[in-house]
Structure 1
Amino acid sequence: MTYIQLESFFSNFSFLMLFISLIYYWVQTGLLFKQQQNVISMWLANISLFCLLVLRWVESGHFPLSNLYESLIFLSWSFTVLHIILENLTNQKILGCITSPIALFTNAFASFSLPSEMQQSSPLVPALQSNWLMMHVTVMILSYAALICGSLLSIAYLILTRNIDIEQFSSDNSPTYLNEFQKTNVVFQSEQTINSVVNIVPNINPTKLKLIQNLDNLSYRILGIGFPFLTIGILSGAVWANEAWGSYWSWDPKETWALLTWLVFAIYLHTRLTKGWQGKKPAIIASLGFITVWICFLGVNLLGEGLHSYGWIQS
């Protein structure tokens, strides 16, 4: 088999495995959030995407992050890596309902929406012929993966609490809720905690309450992972920009939106760490961050303008 045939096989196989993972997690989660085993299709999708990236690396002779197609495939692979790590650490199966559709979406967009010429390997332009390519772009995309997943969990939290005045039992007057939130283990420690909250809000289902708390906890922890990666990515990009263009910062559209994204999540973490905010307020900030991440990653590049426009869709 040729490189092109192998790439096509791994691309289609990863799409199939992600689709199976999506169906599995959504169906299982709908059945009263019962305990599940780690689904093998997510592992197979991860391995398939990894093989696809390695093939691109061997074929092109450079790290496969030179255009939109390769970046989307790497982002999809990053979602599967984040899912596997966090699911094994936290044992929270709700993650699969978030990571599987977003990984499938990015994979499908790269494989079926982009023109065929963009999906082909090509030599690096002079500005990308640097060791900083692997460092900067890899860290940035890993940060995007974590920030997108964390933001989606916050959006899910807002959807589930849209008809619930969650603030009335997450205030300083309800220390039981706060203490459970601040623990490393995101699973409830006792039925007494659930019952005390249900007594305050009698219309809320205990299972739903447990899910709501887990969503907010997981969102906070995942965003706490993505923010340092974003910071390192911006700093490494500034150093690379100085080598390539003679300036650490040029207010390029990509740089501007990266800074805006950094500020949004810096505000989110500041409100949680120093102000003690929990619940809907920080979730709204994280939801705004979801929009800024996608604009930073795709939006500004679709314009085909700025110093980061090479290898992307041109207007």
Structure 2
Amino acid sequence: MASFFFINAATLFLFAALLLFLLFTAGRNSRLGRWGRTAAAAGFFCLTAGLALRWRESYLLLGAEGHIPLTNFYESLLFFSWTLILAYLFIDFRFRLPLLGAVVTPLALLSLLAAQLTGDAAIHPLVPALKSNWLTFHVVTCFLGYAAFAVGCATAILYLIRQPGKTPGRPAAKSLFPEAELLEEIHYQAVMVGFLLLTLGILTGSAWAHRAWGSYWSWDPKETWSLIVWLIYAALLHARMIRGWSGKRLAWLSLLGFAATLFCWLGVNLLLPGLHSYGGM
């Protein structure tokens, strides 16, 4: 299928972007950072084309049963990679932070490779419970929230490596690492956006569950872990806005939140059977 060509091309571009970002990190050559950004953007556009073509192919194969490519494990890995690169490009456009690409791109590339190596790439008809417009709203908002949390985690990692006022390595490293205050602000904005999107995802998921199964909340493992993730990030935002937390404490809490996010998405699907195990591995 034509979509595979663009998905494979996206993988190659992201691999090139990762190499360029790593070379930028080692050599502090701004030109390498720009090339890495360009390669990441090319990968994003290829992946966008791949997802769009897969959507079209579902209608060619299934007719009226065609659907948006967000309904199984393979497609969720592709879409997660897409949202990660989108989030990185948005932040980099605003703040020019190629160093962030060195942290985000590996996760996006790993997600793409996992899809191609472990996922079921076949296009299947939807089960009745998934034939709802709520599916699109729910999945898109959740994954955009996950991507925002990933950016928050990436900036937290950079903050912890940098150690405010004690930039590691040679003095030239100061031109590589952004100021601690900027990293904290990007982290806060990313977490806030992710929290709002996750909240919207939980609400749309509840509406979808009521329509499909007659109940807004059933304490399914995915629902329970979504609530855990929501509570962690709610605590993080409360600690910053009300308690005045900053620095390393928030950074470590962000790492905990993103670890819980990954378990909510991947761990629950792989380890805990429930209503959200529909997609197959």
Using structure 1 for the length normalisation, give the TM-score.
0.80
Counterpart amino acid of residue 110 in structure 2: F
SS of 1:278's equivalent in the other structure is: coil
SS of 2:123's equivalent in the other structure is: coil
SS of 1:309's equivalent in the other structure is: helix
Residue in 2 that maps onto 1:87: 92
Residue in 2 that maps onto 1:223: 191
**1:184-223 residue pairs with structure 2 within 5 A?**
205=171, 207=174, 210-223=178-191
| Structure 1 stretch displaced more, 19-28 or 303-312 | 303-312
SS of 1:37's equivalent in the other structure is: helix
**1:94-113 residue pairs with structure 2 within 5 A?**
94-113=99-118
Residue in 1 that maps onto 2:11: 15
Match of 2:261 among 290, 293, 297: 293
Separation of aligned partners in 2, 1:50 and 1:210: 30
Counterpart amino acid of residue 117 in structure 2: F
**Aligned-pair distance for 1:27?**
1.0
The CA deviation string for residues 173-194 of structure 1, in whole angstroms up to 9 with x for no partner, is: xxxxxxxxxxxxxxxxxxxxxx
Separation of aligned partners in 1, 2:5 and 2:68: 20
Counterpart amino acid of residue 158 in structure 1: L
> Structure 1: any 5+ residue segments left out of the alignment?
167-196
Counterpart amino acid of residue 312 in structure 1: G
> Cα 1:244–1:42, aligned 2, differ >3 Å: closer, same or farther?
same
8 Å Cα contact 2:13/2:40 also seen in 1? yes
Separation of aligned partners in 1, 2:221 and 2:16: 37
**Aligned-pair distance for 1:14?**
0.6
**Aligned-pair distance for 1:276?**
1.5
Residue in 1 that maps onto 2:225: 257
The CA deviation string for residues 139-159 of structure 1, in whole angstroms up to 9 with x for no partner, is: 111111111221132133224
**Aligned-pair distance for 1:26?**
1.5
Counterpart amino acid of residue 267 in structure 2: G
Match of 1:52 among 50, 53, 60: 50
**Aligned-pair distance for 1:11?**
1.7
**Aligned-pair distance for 1:34?**
4.0
Residue in 1 that maps onto 2:126: 124
Aligned sequence identity (%) = 40
Match of 1:271 among 226, 235, 239: 239
Counterpart amino acid of residue 85 in structure 2: T
Residue in 1 that maps onto 2:153: 151
Separation of aligned partners in 1, 2:7 and 2:117: 10
**Aligned-pair distance for 1:102?**
1.1
8 Å Cα contact 1:261/1:292 also seen in 2? yes
Residue in 2 that maps onto 1:244: 212
8 Å Cα contact 1:302/1:312 also seen in 2? no
> Cα 1:245–1:18, aligned 2, differ >3 Å: closer, same or farther?
same
Separation of aligned partners in 2, 1:209 and 1:111: 34
Match of 2:34 among 37, 43, 55: 37
Counterpart amino acid of residue 75 in structure 2: E
**Aligned-pair distance for 1:304?**
5.6
RMSD across aligned positions (CA): 2.2
1:69 aligns with 2:74: yes
Count residues with an aligned counterpart.
Answer: 270
Separation of aligned partners in 2, 1:209 and 1:294: 26
8 Å Cα contact 1:142/1:229 also seen in 2? yes
Using structure 2 for the length normalisation, give the TM-score.
0.89
The CA deviation string for residues 207-246 of structure 1, in whole angstroms up to 9 with x for no partner, is: 1774544333322221121110001000110111111111
> Structure 2: any 5+ residue segments left out of the alignment?
59-65
**Aligned-pair distance for 1:99?**
1.9
**Aligned-pair distance for 1:119?**
1.1
Counterpart amino acid of residue 70 in structure 1: E
Separation of aligned partners in 2, 1:222 and 1:142: 11
**Aligned-pair distance for 1:284?**
1.1
1:233 aligns with 2:235: no
